A and B are shown apart, each in its own frame.
Chain A
Amino acid sequence: MCEVNQRMMNEKEQLFHDIGVIDFVIVEMQLYLNTHPTDKEAMDYLSHYVRMKNQAMREYAMKFGPLSISDADGCQQNEWKWVMQPWPWEGGC
């Protein structure tokens, strides 16, 4: 049981970390493209990461609760996790 919890925890932390990394790529590409709006290669690069982020956000919402309200429909539980889970400045996320 303890081992299962540990695995869940690791998966949650890993996915959360991945979302942070993917989103930072998107932020950087968005700023770059604003001043280089015809760079096709950069646009493809951004699209790839936007798809990855959407997928990761959906997966996180389904398993652990939504990080963004647009993923709140991915949760099966009858609990409004948006306010019941810790806020980012409480540490740990």
Chain B
Amino acid sequence: MWCYEKRLQFPVNIKEPNAKLAQVIMSQFGGPDGELAASQRYLSQRYATPYREVVGTLTDIGTEELAHMEMISAIVYQLTKDLSMDEIVNSGFDKYYVDHTAGLWPQAAGGIPFNACVFQSKGDVITDLFEDMAAEQKARSTYDNILRLVRDYPDVYEPIKFLRAREVVHFQRFGEALRIVQDKLDGKNFYAFNPGFDKCKS
């Protein structure tokens, strides 16, 4: 089960609202490579994973992704706080505002709602870990894109830079988890079939 700590993993204190930035950063909440998808991907994949070390990695990184989702949500919340009607209309935030006011709702920057099809839980630890490594790289690329857009806003830049660095660490850890799985593969498993489901013929 889970426990909640009433703090952010990295502080978010944005002084100036900015609805334009909120609309792109929102993608890391409910977009295809966002933190909601990341957390549900890893936490769903855990159950069919046959090796405990790998389950630990999925559990702990999946949990950290929930903390990242909270950071992104805090950034979007602070960027959309106390907006005037003029700012809402001029920034293009009106299309989001009409359905959600200033509430948090998981969607991509382009307005596409969150969908579980942005991640997979395949029941095959090798397949899943390759997806996980790709997911960390995709999220890192998205944070790189965001960083280019927020260069002049240090209050936003710093927490995004932290999140980007975590993607790199997670990629590394998933790579190590994949190595552990490959080391454990049966010597006769030449084609790397699903070690949690298929059995080698002796």
Contact = CB atoms under 8 A, between A and B. Distances in A.
Interface string B172-200: 00000000000000000000000000000
A87 B55 CA distance: 8
A84 B52 contact: yes
Interface of A: 68, 82-89
A83 B46 contact: no
Contacts, number: 15
B3 interface: yes
Q: How large is the interface on B (under 10, 10 to 19, 20 to 34, 35 or more residues)?
A: under 10
A68 B2 CA distance: 9
Q: Is the interface of B mostly helix, strand, loop or mixed?
A: helix
15 contacts: A68-B3, A82-B56, A83-B52, A83-B53, A83-B55, A83-B56, A84-B52, A85-B52, A86-B52, A87-B46, A87-B52, A87-B55, A87-B59, A88-B1, A89-B47
B107 to A, nearest CB: 29
A89 B3 CA distance: 17
Contacts of A87: 46, 52, 55, 59
A87 B46 CA distance: 10
Nearest to B3: A68
A62 B3 CA distance: 20
Nearest to A82: B56
Interface centre among A82, A83, A84 (most CB of B within 10 A): A83
Contacts of B56: 82-83
Nearest to B47: A89
A87 B59 CA distance: 10
A87 B53 CA distance: 11
